[in-house]
């Protein structure tokens, strides 16, 4: 019998039976036990209970942590739970190991993440994975984000000997174009576009995932100066020895070009097992097309214009979706206009503050587990001689 079943059975027994006159006595009524249906303790070795979510096997890795399969007991649905390391985030942003006090200036990377979370919770597009819920414990390293689960996984694993046909590549690429246009409309640069971050929904359409290194910007474009993302998908302007700023939108366009190349050839256009050699190829080597499979001149032109070494002359999203003949099939199959699939998102300060949902600290979970095993819910730090003869507290499954 599971721990949850035992807890429910014991709850019924305690609530159904009547208290004796001695138990009722003349003492002051005890304070009610804090109860919540979102805390469940399990001793299973293959899963962890996090409020209403049961975290199961690892199904992927993100930019700052892992992604686990999570079952929501309330909705009876599965989700993808991304567990982000706040310490790793702080370290990569140039801060020291110890997390700064909440509200301090040094907490900026986390505050920025919470603002992005507030935005992602409101994003609603057919080609962007939806963020369902965020759970955070201020005393622990993990930040948990529940996303819609894409059971079909990534659109493609690279490298592969079974690339897409041009028709398949066009179908998925058009989804990618609309998703990126939507993100750029809401002033978000993804920064890590690649096939493994494009997940297939049950309807067969691509949904963009993993916003672990994304950037929010103001104005018409982001001016970035730091490197982020996957090396083989990085743009040449990111690899200069001198610190300079570069266009965020152009970075996403380059990564989309590398992704489209992967779609039809099953491999990246620039690759080397040594990072310095890879950077040299990306900066200096022209894109080359294998003899097989044979692709159309229109597709070659689009890839070459997306993989333009000069970001200022690189093709843009409007030019791709409206003007390029390969994407629109010579104008016979136009994509929807920006105003037809993009709507404005406004995020209030209150929504930023409420962007995360607090969960019980790990120490509380361990304490309740200990009390469950001992079947005692009195103060565990009192000496044995001072404890009452027995406890009338509610079973531990209802404690927070």
- Which residues are part of the catalytic machinery? 192
Distance between CA atoms of residues 310 and 316, nearest Å: 12
Q: The tokens 């890839």 sit on which residue?
A: 303
Q: Is 82 annotated as belonging to a binding site?
A: yes
Distance between CA atoms of residues 302 and 287, nearest Å: 12
- The stretches of 201-285 forming alpha helices (DSSP H) are 248-265, 275-284
Distance between CA atoms of residues 126 and 233, nearest Å: 24
Plot region of 187 (φ>0 → left; ψ -120 to 50 → alpha; else → beta)? left
- End-to-end Cα separation, the chain, in angstroms: 22
- The stretches of 48-205 forming alpha helices (DSSP H) are 86-92, 108-122, 166-185
Plot region of 229 (φ>0 → left; ψ -120 to 50 → alpha; else → beta)? left
The token pair at 358 is 């607090």
| Cis omega (within 30 of 0) for bond into 159 | yes
Beta carbons of 325 and 319 less than 8 angstroms apart: no
Query: CB under 8 Å to 385, separation ≥6 — which residues?
Result: none
Beta carbons of 82 and 62 less than 8 angstroms apart: yes
Q: Cβ atoms within 10 A of the Cβ of 155, count?
A: 24
Plot region of 230 (φ>0 → left; ψ -120 to 50 → alpha; else → beta)? beta
* Residue 41 burial (C-beta neighbours within 10 Å; 0-12, 13-18, 19+): middle
Distance between CA atoms of residues 343 and 340, nearest Å: 8
Annotated binding residues for ATP, written as ranges, equal 82
Q: Tell me the binding residues.
A: 82
């Amino acid at each position: 019998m599971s721990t949850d079943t035992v807890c429910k059975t014991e709850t019924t027994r305690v609530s159904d039976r009547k208290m004796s006159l001695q138990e009722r006595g003349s003492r002051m009524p005890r304070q009610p036990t804090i109860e919540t249906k979102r805390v469940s303790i399990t001793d299973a070795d293959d899963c962890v209970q996090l409020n209403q979510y049961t975290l199961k096997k690892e199904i992927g890795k993100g930019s700052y942590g892992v992604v686990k399969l999570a079952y929501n007991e309330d909705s009876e649905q599965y989700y993808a739970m991304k567990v982000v390391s706040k310490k790793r985030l702080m370290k990569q942003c140039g801060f020291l190991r110890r997390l700064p006090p909440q509200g301090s200036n040094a907490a900026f990377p986390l505050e920025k993440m919470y603002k992005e979370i507030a935005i992602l919770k409101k994003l609603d597009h057919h080609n962007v994975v939806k963020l369902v819920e965020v759970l955070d414990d201020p005393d622990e390293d993990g930040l948990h984000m529940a996303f819609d689960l894409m059971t079909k996984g990534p659109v493609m694993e690279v490298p592969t000997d079974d690339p897409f046909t041009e028709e398949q590549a066009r179908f998925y690429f058009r989804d990618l174009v609309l998703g990126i246009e939507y993100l750029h409309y809401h002033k978000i640069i993804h920064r890590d576009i690649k096939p493994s971050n494009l997940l297939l929904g049950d309807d067969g359409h691509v949904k963009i995932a993993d916003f672990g290194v994304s950037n929010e910007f103001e104005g018409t474009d982001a001016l970035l100066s730091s490197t982020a993302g996957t090396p083989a998908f990085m743009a040449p302007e990111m690899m200069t020895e001198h610190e300079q700023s570069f266009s965020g939108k152009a970075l996403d366009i380059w990564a989309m070009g590398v992704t489209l190349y992967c779609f039809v050839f099953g491999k990246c256009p620039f690759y080397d097992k040594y990072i310095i050699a890879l950077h040299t190829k990306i900066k200096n080597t022209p894109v080359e097309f294998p003899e097989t499979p044979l692709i159309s001149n229109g597709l070659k032109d689009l890839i070459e214009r997306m993989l333009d070494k000069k970001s200022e002359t690189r093709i843009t999203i409007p030019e791709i979706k409206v003007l390029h003949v390969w994407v629109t099939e010579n104008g016979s199959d136009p994509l929807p206009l920006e105003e037809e699939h993009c709507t404005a998102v406004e995020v209030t300060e209150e929504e930023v503050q409420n962007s995360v949902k607090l969960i019980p600290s790990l120490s509380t979970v361990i304490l309740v587990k200990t009390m469950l095993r001992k079947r005692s819910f009195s103060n565990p730090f009192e000496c044995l001689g001072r404890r009452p003869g027995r406890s009338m507290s509610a079973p531990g499954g209802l404690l927070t």
